[in-house]
């Protein structure tokens, strides 16, 4: 059906066109002057705005003035309004063939297909344009009126003789109607009449494919390729056939040939690469066949950023990381690297855990792109990772000078607050969080971290609750934020609410966090669910929690239970 849709779209374009209807004389010299001026503005100066204003002035005086209505239909950008104007013009002169054609064209554009069909039925009685018949047949075919469509084509062939486009359309109508024998007959007739036309062999292959005779479809495709190996349409149709039949090895060999064709635009070739690499399972299973396609693309277009990016990604996937890195570094040697190139090099250096090299390129990135906050953030994170929190704070404070908006400043201040908290400077941490929220009160991460740190120190728990609630409103399915809210409820002694929220947190926890399991155990313990508390503490231990911390909780629980038993005695 895709071919029919394409043909239909093309038909609409071919059916378009300006024409000069037989104008009637204006009822007044003023109207004629305005209309003439509008026509001049449109045709000579291309000034549609003024032309439209003048035409509307004419129609205000006489809404039935046909030449102005016709011109308005050409000036209107809205398809519906343009079609309505054309219909109004036709109403003033219903036998005018030019006006019929204009109304039919605009009915198609406005997707008024029944009206377009009606008009074309009238037009084809006298028309010498075979394309009118083709569009009418397509309209019948769209409406599943296959007999009528075939009848239109029959009458067209009586008038114009055998034309390939009619035969191909007839074949498609038969195919869509499941009349495979008739479709095959049409296709064979086309090949017999023009054996050196690749399009006829492709059409025949399509019929064989629809009939399930793949071997003959292959023969027809190969005949088409033999006739014109440089025709992209032949290769694309064959690739689609092979993909539909899940013959992916052969399909990839076809795409390998397409990559070599100069007639195929680079963007189309990039789309092919995207189609074979975007699905991980397919990419993995066909890795060795896809590799020559990507490598050849790099040989043909070594300076194209997208091609280089695809090749680098492929090298990394092939575990040829060092090769990818060498290629990228060679690419930027002696030049000012782009932001994308620096990002990719930093990603790879980080992937292979070469921290010194990461920092080297981060400094280069900061020098060239100081407003790119991810460079500053990564540098501060690396400093923090090696215990240099003060250095990380200094880096983030420097980054504040280049922050371009309030959100960026809020993010940096929030990061500074985290650093201060880690080194035990709570007051400075809270002050930094306050500044972060001053710049962006909706910074969910800051709200969450601030609330959690307050809950740990058991200070300002009411404020902590408000912040934790807001964080979960901004990011409702975030397990970490839900955990914080549950923990604040726990610290407030609101254990049932804590349990309800923590159940949500556990359901959204994709990382299997030991901390969430530990907290849930604590909440259950507070509610007196001894067995379930121990179950989640064990789960936390399995996920990497400190064994000593778990042991302390179990012992404290046992001591409490013993005391309760003693009190009961």
Name the helix (H) or strand (E) containing 269: helix 266-277
- Whether residue 329 has pLDDT greater than 90: no
Q: Minimal CA–CA distance to 94: which of 176, 21, 195?
A: 21
Q: Which residue ranges make up each domain of the chain? A: 1-161
User: What is the DSSP secondary structure assignment for residue 566, as one 8-state letter?
Assistant: H
Instruction: At 171, list the tokens.
Output: 């074949």
Cβ atoms of residues 240 and 256 within 8 Å: no
**What pLDDT is stored for residue 436 in this prediction?**
95
Cβ atoms of residues 181 and 6 within 8 Å: no
> In angstroms, rounded to a whole number, what is the distance separating the alpha carbons of residues 168 and 43?
38
pLDDT in tens, 363-408: 999 999 998 888 988 999 999 888 899 999 999 999 999 988 999 9
Instruction: At 530, list the tokens.
Output: 């001894």
The residue with tokens 């159940």 is: 503
pLDDT in tens, 106-117: 988 989 989 988
Average pLDDT on 519-528 reads: 90
Sign of CA dihedral 500, 501, 505, 508: positive
- Whether residue 142 has pLDDT greater than 60: yes
E strands of 27-179, at which residues? none
Average pLDDT on 164-181 reads: 84
pLDDT in tens, 248-279: 999 999 999 999 999 999 999 999 999 999 99
Average pLDDT on 346-358 reads: 87
**What pLDDT is stored for residue 290 in this prediction?**
94
Average pLDDT on 423-448 reads: 94
**What pLDDT is stored for residue 567 in this prediction?**
64
CATH number of this structure's domain 1-161? 1.25.40.10
pLDDT in tens, 173-204: 888 888 888 888 888 888 888 889 898 899 89
pLDDT in tens, 482-494: 999 999 999 999 9
Average pLDDT on 69-76 reads: 86
The 3-class secondary structure across 6-56, one letter per residue, is HHHHHHHHHHCCCCCCCCCCCCCHHHHHHHHHHHHHHHCCCCHHHHHHHHH
Whole-prediction pTM: 0.57
State in Å, rounded, how far the first CA of the chain is from the last one.
85
Cβ atoms of residues 454 and 461 within 8 Å: yes
> In angstroms, rounded to a whole number, what is the distance separating the alpha carbons of residues 562 and 121?
96
Contacts of 447 (CB under 8 A, 6+ apart): 437, 467, 468, 470, 471, 474
Cβ atoms of residues 46 and 135 within 8 Å: no
pLDDT in tens, 286-327: 999 999 999 999 999 988 888 988 888 898 888 888 888 888
8 pLDDT tier (thresholds 50, 70, 90): very low
């Amino acid at each position: 059906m895709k071919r029919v849709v394409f043909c239909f779209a093309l038909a609409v374009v071919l059916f378009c066109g300006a024409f000069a209807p037989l104008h009637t004389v204006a009822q007044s010299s003023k109207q004629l002057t305005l209309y003439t001026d509008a026509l001049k503005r449109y045709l000579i100066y291309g000034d549609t705005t003024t032309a439209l204003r003048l035409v509307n002035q004419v129609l205000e005086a006489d809404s039935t003035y046909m030449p102005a209505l016709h011109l308005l239909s050409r000036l209107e950008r809205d398809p519906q309004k343009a079609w309505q104007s054309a219909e109004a013009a036709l109403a003033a002169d219903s036998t005018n063939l030019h006006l019929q054609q204009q109304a039919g064209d605009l009915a198609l554009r406005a997707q008024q297909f029944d009206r377009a069909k009606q008009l074309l039925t009238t037009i084809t009685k006298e028309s010498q344009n075979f394309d009118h018949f083709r569009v009418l047949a397509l309209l019948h075919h769209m409406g599943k009126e296959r007999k009528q469509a075939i009848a239109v084509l029959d009458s067209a062939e009586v008038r114009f003789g055998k034309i390939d486009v009619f035969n191909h359309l007839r074949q498609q109508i038969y195919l869509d109607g499941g009349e495979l024998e008739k479709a095959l007959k049409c296709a064979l007739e086309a090949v017999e009449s023009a054996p050196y036309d690749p399009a006829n062999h492709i059409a025949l292959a399509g019929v064989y494919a629809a009939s399930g005779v793949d071997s003959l479809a292959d023969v027809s495709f190969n005949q088409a390729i033999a006739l014109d190996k440089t025709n992209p349409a032949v290769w694309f149709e064959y690739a689609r056939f092979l993909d539909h039949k899940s013959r992916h090895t052969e399909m990839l060999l076809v795409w390998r040939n397409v990559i070599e064709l100069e007639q195929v635009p680079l963007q189309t070739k990039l789309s092919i690469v995207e189609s074979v690499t975007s699905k991980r399972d397919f990419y993995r299973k066909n890795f060795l066949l896809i590799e020559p396609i990507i490598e050849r693309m790099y040989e043909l277009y070594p300076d194209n950023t997208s091609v280089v990016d695809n090749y680098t990604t492929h090298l990394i996937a092939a575990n040829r990381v060092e090769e990818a890195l060498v290629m990228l570094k060679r690419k930027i040697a002696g030049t000012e690297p782009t932001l994308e190139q620096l990002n990719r090099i930093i990603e790879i250096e980080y992937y292979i855990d070469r921290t010194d090299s990461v920092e080297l390129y981060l400094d280069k990135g900061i020098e060239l792109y100081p407003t790119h906050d991810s460079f500053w953030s990564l540098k501060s994170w690396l400093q923090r990772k090696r215990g240099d929190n003060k250095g990380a704070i200094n880096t983030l404070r420097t980054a504040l000078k280049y922050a371009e908006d309030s959100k960026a400043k809020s993010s940096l201040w929030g990061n500074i607050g985290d650093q201060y908290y880690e080194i035990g400077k709570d007051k400075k941490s809270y002050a930094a969080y306050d500044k972060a929220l001053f710049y962006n009160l909706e910074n969910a991460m800051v709200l969450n971290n601030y609330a959690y740190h307050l809950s740990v120190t058991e200070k300002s728990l009411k404020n902590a609750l408000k912040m934790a609630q807001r964080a979960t409103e901004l990011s409702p399915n975030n397990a970490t934020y839900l955990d914080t809210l549950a923990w604040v409820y726990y610290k407030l002694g609101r254990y049932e609410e804590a349990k309800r929220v923590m159940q949500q947190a556990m359901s959204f926890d994709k990382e299997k966090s030991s901390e969430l399991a530990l907290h849930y155990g604590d909440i259950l313990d507070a509610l007196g669910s001894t067995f379930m508390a121990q179950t989640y503490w064990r789960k936390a231990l399995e996920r990497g929690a400190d064994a000593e911390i778990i042991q302390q909780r179990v012992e404290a629980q046992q001591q409490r239970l013993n005391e309760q038993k003693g009190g009961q005695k």
